[in-house]
Amino acid sequence: ENSFEIKKIAPIPVALIGAVVVTIVNFIFSLPSLAMYFATSNPWGGIGYFLGNTIGTLVFTFIIYAIMALLYNFLRSVIGGVELELE
What is the chain's pLDDT, residue by residue, as a tens digit (87 residues)?
788 999 999 999 999 999 999 999 999 999 998 899 889 988 898 899 999 999 999 999 999 999 999 999 999 999 988 999 988
The per-residue pLDDT for 1 is 72
Question: What are the C-alpha distances in Å from 41 to residues 45, 47, 55, 59?
Answer: 9, 12, 23, 29
**DSSP designation for 40:** T
Angle between helices 43-79 and 11-39 (to 10 degrees): 150
Nearest alpha-carbon partner for 33 in 16, 19, 20, 45? 45
Q: Alpha-carbon distance 33 to 56, whole Å?
A: 16
The pTM (predicted TM-score) of the whole model is 0.83
